[in-house]
């Protein structure tokens, strides 16, 4: 089975990379493939990278409130292009109320500062596995 492939980046002008870099290295250590998109991303730029890389997940580290507008935009864009890429958010600024809002908008998972590293990597594997199964399903359907 191929390992999960995850794009990690930040939205807009949010420049606090501490969390993004830390999570990237944590997931790499857990055996996953990370494409680090870094700072200054828009929903369009992340979508482009995800398509080019055939990624399973786009993970956004959120340290400013910009994600409140950008994340639903990205999820909408992924869907309107008919892609099966999960959008995952993480960061201390995401409150419980906003997490529910983002889940309702279609975010696959949301992590806060208190989540143990193991929980993050397990969740990434589960999401990837579900995606791969659904893809296999659709290929079988094509046969």
Partner 1 sequence: MTASRSGIPLKDFYAASAGVAARDEIPGAYPYTRGRHRPAQSGQGWIHRELSGEGNARRSNEQIKYLIGIGQMGVDVIGDSPTQSMLDPDHPLVKNAVGTQGVSLCCRQDYLELYAGIPYDKVSISSSVPSVFSMTGLYIALREHGFPHDRARGSVLQAPLYAEDCSYSAGMPYSLLSRLALDGMSFAAKYMPRFHAYVEDTYFFSETGLTGIEEMALGFVEIRHLTRSLIARGVPVDSFAPRIAILVNCSMDLFEEIAKIRATRRLFARMMKEEFGAQDPRSLSVVISAHTSGLTLTAQQPANNIVRGTVQGMALALAGVQAMEISAFDEGFRTPSAEAHMVGIRTQQILELECGVARVEDPLGGSYYVEALTDEMEHAIWRMVGDLEARGDPVALAEQGYFRRLFEQASERHYRSISSGKVKVVGVNCHKVADDEDKLLRDIAERKIAPDRQRIEEVKQFRAARSQAAVGRALRRLHDAVATDQNLIPLVIEATDAGATMGEMAGAMRLACGRTYDPHRQLQPDF
Closest CA to 130 of 84, 79, 99: 84
8 A C-beta contact, residue 54 and residue 105: no
The footprint of partner 1 on residues 28-57 (CB under 8 A) is 39-40, 42
Q: Please identify, among the stretches 49-57, 74-82, 113-121, 131-139, the one whose residues bind partner 1 according to the rule CB under 8 A.
A: 113-121
| Distance in Å, CB of 49 to partner 1, minimum | 16
8 A C-beta contact, residue 66 and residue 72: no
Q: Please identify, among the stretches 54-62, 82-90, 114-122, 124-132, the one whose residues bind partner 1 according to the rule CB under 8 A.
A: 114-122
8 A C-beta contact, residue 111 and residue 81: no
8 A C-beta contact, residue 73 and residue 41: no
Which residue among 18, 54, 139, 143 contacts partner 1 (CB under 8 A)?
A: 18
Q: Which residues bind to partner 1, rule: CB under 8 A?
A: 11-19, 21-22, 25-26, 39-40, 42, 64-66, 68-70, 92-93, 95-97, 112-114, 116-117
């Amino acid at each position: 089975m191929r390992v999960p492939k995850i794009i990690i980046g930040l939205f807009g002008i949010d420049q606090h990379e501490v969390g993004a870099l830390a999570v990237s290295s944590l997931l790499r250590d857990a055996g996953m493939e990370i494409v680090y998109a870094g700072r200054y991303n828009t929903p369009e730029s992340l979508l482009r990278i995800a398509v080019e890389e055939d990624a399973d997940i786009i993970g956004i580290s959120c340290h400013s409130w910009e994600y409140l507008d950008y994340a639903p935009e990205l999820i909408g864009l992924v869907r309107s292009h008919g892609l099966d890429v999960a959008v995952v958010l993480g960061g201390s600024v995401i409150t419980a109320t906003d997490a529910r809002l983002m889940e309702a908008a279609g975010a696959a998972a949301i992590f806060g500062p208190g989540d143990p590293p193991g929980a993050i990597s397990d969740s990434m594997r589960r999401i990837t596995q579900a995606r791969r199964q659904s893809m296999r399903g659709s290929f079988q359907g094509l046969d």
